Structures are given as C-alpha cells and as structure tokens.
C-alpha cells in the first residue's frame, strides 16, 4: 500500500505555528494525504493528544533543537530534551523507540545540521517545502543522501494550514504508525513535493505578526 504522508508539520503547540488540530486534519484530508507527522518544537504532548482525538493517521513526532541543529524524532515514546549533542540526541531517540530524521540539512533561516549528518540517522529530509533556496537545498540533500546511503523523506514544515501537503513522503506500508516507521527505516519510501509559494509564506508571516501583536 502506498501512503502519502507529510512528515513535518507544526501545530499551535509550537509557538511559531498557526495550525490548530482541526485545521491540521482539514488540510491533511483536503490535500489528499493519508496521514501527517506532528513534529512540534521540543514537545510531543500536543501530537499525542491530537492522535488520540482523531481517526486521521497521526504519527507523533518531535523536532528537537540539538546543539548542532534540528533533528526530528518520529514515533518516540518519551520526551527527548533539547540542547544535547547530535550523537546524544540520536541515542535518546533510539532509546525512546523512535527513528531519526535529519531535517532541512542545508537551508538558510533555520537551524541546520550542515556537517553533522552521518549514517547514524535513519533518514534525511531531502525535500523541505519551506527551505530556502529550495532547488539548491534539494540538490544538496540528494547528494548527501546518496553518499550516506540513508532513506530519503519529505515534509512541508508547515506552520500555516494552507502550507500542509506541499511535500509528502510516499511510504510503502500498511496504514499503521509502527509499520510506517519500519518502512522508512528500511528505505521503502521516496520524497515528493515542491516549495511553498512565497505569497503563502508571506500571508503566514502577516497572520503570525497579527497574532503575536494581539497577545501583547
């Protein structure tokens, strides 16, 4: 079974995202996805809560701020703290029963891992729809993935509902979190997608400004 899954989405449990649980599921379905991974910054309580409350497929994840850049842990069963070295972070993800993804390895304006990617990672996010400059980052990530021989995945890194689904990973698995994670681990997956249009990103920035201003 080929599943279309956006493996990198932030919800309101991340302070820099506008996506409510309702919007997550609405856009996930509207974009024809079979599921999404919720990967909020340094917390996964939101992901677990959302997964419990819907029959839409949610892979609980976390985007961890390691000392050397962002790392995604998928299907972890306990919190992996921020500010650890890359190696320690990878150990903790493994101990928590999850798999690791080197997200947006090469991009500006995000905390990228750059030289810290190794075959210890389970997968590399070759396509990140929010990466800048987009084509350059995809080419570069492809090169790293083939050099290291690790699985290739994709995600939108959405922080605004309409950004969901600009990228997806095609995973050859049954529609179950454990099976999907296993399939990614063995590389039965491929990255697909494109950049989020600048107009959409611009709208998001305006809405974020408006929201943050309203909070003060």
Closest CA to 103 of 147, 57, 153: 153
User: Least distance from C-beta 1 to Zn ion, angstroms?
Assistant: 27
User: Least distance from C-beta 39 to Zn ion, angstroms?
Assistant: 6
Identity of the residue, 70 or 168, whose beta carbon is nearer to Zn ion in the bound complex: 70
Identity of the residue, 55 or 58, whose beta carbon is nearer to Zn ion in the bound complex: 58
* Residue 31 in the binding site for Zn ion (CB under 5 A): no
- Only segment of 22-30, 68-76, 88-96, 118-126 that touches Zn ion (CB under 5 A): 68-76
- Only segment of 24-32, 86-94, 103-111, 195-203 that touches Zn ion (CB under 5 A): 103-111
Out of 23, 34, 40, 157, the only residue in the binding site for Zn ion (CB under 5 A) is 157
Query: Cis omega before residue 105 (within 30°)?
Result: no
User: Least distance from C-beta 36 to Zn ion, angstroms?
Assistant: 13
Identity of the residue, 70 or 152, whose beta carbon is nearer to Zn ion in the bound complex: 70
Query: Burial, 90: exposed, middle or buried (Cβ in 10 Å; 0-12, 13-18, 19+)?
Result: buried
Identity of the residue, 57 or 167, whose beta carbon is nearer to Zn ion in the bound complex: 167
Out of 31, 70, 116, 152, the only residue in the binding site for Zn ion (CB under 5 A) is 70
Identity of the residue, 157 or 163, whose beta carbon is nearer to Zn ion in the bound complex: 157
- Only segment of 113-121, 156-164, 165-173, 200-208 that touches Zn ion (CB under 5 A): 156-164
- Only segment of 45-53, 64-72, 77-85, 181-189 that touches Zn ion (CB under 5 A): 64-72
Q: Which residues bind Zn ion (CB under 5 A)?
A: 63, 70, 110, 157
């Amino acid at each position: 079974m080929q599943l279309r899954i956006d493996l990198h989405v932030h919800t309101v449990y991340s302070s820099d995202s506008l996506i409510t649980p309702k919007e997550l599921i609405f856009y996930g379905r509207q974009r024809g996805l079979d599921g999404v991974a919720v990967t909020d910054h340094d917390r996964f309580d939101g992901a677990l809560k959302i997964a419990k409350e819907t029959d839409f497929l949610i892979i609980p994840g976390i985007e961890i701020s390691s000392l050397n850049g962002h790392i995604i842990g998928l299907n972890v069963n306990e919190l992996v703290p921020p500010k650890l070295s890359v190696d320690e972070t990878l150990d903790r993800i493994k101990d928590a029963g999850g798999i690791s993804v080197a997200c947006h390895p090469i991009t500006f304006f995000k905390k990228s891992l750059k030289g810290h990617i190794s075959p210890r990672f389970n997968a590399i996010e070759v396509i990140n729809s929010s990466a800048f400059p987009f084509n350059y980052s995809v080419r570069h990530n492809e090169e790293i993935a083939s050099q290291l021989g690790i699985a290739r995945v994709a995600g939108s890194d959405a922080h605004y509902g309409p950004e969901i689904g600009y990228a997806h990973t095609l995973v050859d698995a049954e529609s179950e979190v454990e099976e999907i994670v296993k399939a990614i681990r063995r590389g039965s997956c491929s990255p697909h997608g494109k950049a989020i249009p600048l107009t959409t990103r611009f709208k998001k920035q305006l809405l974020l400004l408006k929201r943050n201003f309203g909070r003060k």
